Chain A
Amino acid sequence: ETGVTQSPTHLIKTRGQQVTLRCSSQSGHNTVSWYQQALGQGPQFIFQYYREEENGRGNFPPRFSGLQFPNYSSELNVNALELDDSALYLCASSLVGFTTNTGELFFGEGSRLTVL
């Protein structure tokens, strides 16, 4: 067990709705990253937060946004949901800050989002 917890584990939304996913990072970790994993695909990097600031972003539109709180927990918000947003959303925490070293990522079990 990594100590990274995500909620909810499963949820169903309809097109156009908004969703908030939550992640509690492992104790002592100050960096959180989010990934989208479609069925049969590898995880795709959405963004990373270091000490409450976004410090890296993948090729995702602005309707994907996030927050990191002083306790280093994090939220992923997705607005105007589309069918293609259906995926497993993974959160990972680590001790890596402003470096190019990915370090070791500790993943949660993910939140399975289905958009109808």
Chain B
Amino acid sequence: LAKTTQPISMDSYEGQEVNITCSHNNIATNDYITWYQQFPSQGPRFIIQGYKTKVTNEVASLFIPADRKSSTLSLPRVSLSDTAVYYCLVGDNFNKFYFGSGTKLNVKP
């Protein structure tokens, strides 16, 4: 089963780049890696998804090494509003989807 491991928390300052890494040693061949952002009392919101190498959209980049056993979410120039919990999600062959424990990102002024 493709479970994930992330740092519990991270601190950053406004304007900095933040990199959050997720480990998923048992990722299946066909699985994609998806990252979500969650604010208190809200449902998670999709940030980015990738399969291998690098994916970039208007809010983030996702780096995936060749062995796909980990992935790194990169948030460029964070602001106070990026303070949230970030989860990585992978699916396994049995359609059981696991969120990681989440990384609480605290952005300071």
Contact = CB atoms under 8 A, between A and B. Distances in A.
Contact of A100 (B30, B42, B46, B87): B30
Interface of A: 2, 4, 33, 35, 41-45, 48, 55-58, 88, 90, 92, 98-110
Query: Majority SS of interface residues in chain B?
Result: loop
B84 to A, nearest CB: 13
The bracket for how many chain B residues form the interface is: 20 to 34
Contact of B32 (A90, A98, A102): A102
B52 to A, nearest CB: 13
Interface of B: 28, 30-32, 34, 36, 41-46, 49, 85, 87, 89-102
A58 B99 CA distance: 12
Contacts of A57: 96
Contacts of A92: 43-44
Contacts of B96: 45, 56-58
A45 B43 contact: no
